[in-house]
Amino acid sequence: MATKDFDYKTFAQNLAGQAQELVPQDFNDEQKQYVINTLGNFSMMAGQALAEDPNLNFNAEQSTYITQIIAEWSFHKSVDVIRSGIPRQHWDGIMQKIAYTIFEIAKQTFSQGLPSDQILEIIEHQVGKAYSDAIDELKNRGIIDDTLQEFAKSQSNMEKMTQEARIQQEQQVQEQNNIVDQNLPQPAGRTNVTTENKLPAIDSKVLKLATVAMLFKRMNQDKVQTILNKFDQSDAEDVIKYMKLPNLAEKIGPQNALRCLKEIKEQIPKISDFSTTKIVKKIKNFASKYSANELDTILIKERIGVKRLVYTALEDKYYDKIPPKVASIVATYLQNSV
């Protein structure tokens, strides 16, 4: 039966609007518009078929999911077609073959009730095959030569964006790990050892929280609030209280602060701590709070790589195309965004 509660027009328009922010900046206006229009048109046509075809039996959630998959791959492969060097008059033919393939495979796999990660894997394989076959056809017809054929097949905007995201996330992790280094108090030369250089006879946790408060007073307050949101509530309240104390640094003492900050730095996870087993467990704990349908809804707006990471984790496996450091950040993001 037709899916009357699926507003495919608004959804397709929203997807096209999101694409405007993701189109490569090195594209000219005509190329950018081609990507946006291709994604929007294919999303609209797929959405209309899913919403109005009485022979299809998908609910609104499934229809939304299928339409988004078509939109994402339309975006990536239209970018690949443009970068391939293939003459403009052949772009539409390639993209139509890809869109048709996605639609048909999505209908079959969803109708069979396959797991989401398996559906995404099958579609990814079939998209690559359809793209490659379309290029081979142009070569066989004498429209492109061997060199252009090979170059066109080497294009993969999805892998390019994944790599860029990986680099960006790794840089963010490095920046976070450098916060302590950047704010370590610098010793002012040799001084006589006094009682100030000894840790005070108070709870070490109190001293560490006070030291964190001293560190936070020197940081951007928006970043401070983001970090505090991850603290235990009582600890966060203590840190805020200590931040309001006058002459906090003098009360803690430079040597005490130095030693506490070093201990805090040592407790920050190193690269080796991002074990794939811990990531899989973290994602499974997140996903266990939702039904399969609820989880699909939550992940609708996420990238294919994120979906693959989650669905693979549910099978007690790790999606190794995403580096562990990046996957750990993604897992934390999913927990905090819902």
Residues whose CB falls within 8 Å of the CB of residue 323, separated by 6 or more in sequence, listed in order:
166, 170
- 273-312: pLDDT as tens digits: 457 888 888 888 888 888 877 787 777 767 777 888 888 8
| Listed residue (165, 156, 126, 168) closest to 302, CA to CA | 165
- pTM for this prediction: 0.57
Q: Report long-range pairs for 275-281 (Cβ below 8 Å, ≥24 apart).
A: 275/324, 276/318, 276/320, 276/324, 276/327, 277/318, 278/328, 279/313, 279/318, 279/324, 279/327, 279/328, 279/331, 280/313, 280/316, 280/317, 280/318
> Pick the residue with more confidence: 18 or 137?
137
Identify the residue whose tokens are 């003492």. 253
Residue 327 has pLDDT above 90, yes or no: no
Task: Tell me how far apart the alpha carbons of residues 293 and 284 are, in angstroms, rounded to a whole number.
Answer: 15
The b/e string for 155-174 (b: 16+ C-beta within 10 A; e otherwise) is: bbbbeebbeebbeebeeebe
- 193-250: pLDDT as tens digits: 333 334 344 457 788 888 888 888 877 777 787 788 777 788 888 888 888 887 787 7
Residue 178 burial class via C-beta count within 10 angstroms: exposed 0-12, middle 13-18, buried 19 and up: exposed
DSSP 40-92: HHHHHHHHHHHHH-TT----HHHHHHHHHHHHHHHHHHHHHHHHHT--GGGHH
| Listed residue (236, 310, 237) closest to 280, CA to CA | 310
64 close to 106: Cβ distance less than 8 angstroms: no
> According to the model, what pLDDT value does residue 172 have?
60
> Pick the residue with more confidence: 215 or 48?
48
Residue 39 has pLDDT above 90, yes or no: yes
131 close to 95: Cβ distance less than 8 angstroms: no
Task: Tell me how far apart the alpha carbons of residues 271 and 330 are, in angstroms, rounded to a whole number.
Answer: 15
3-state secondary structure of 13: helix
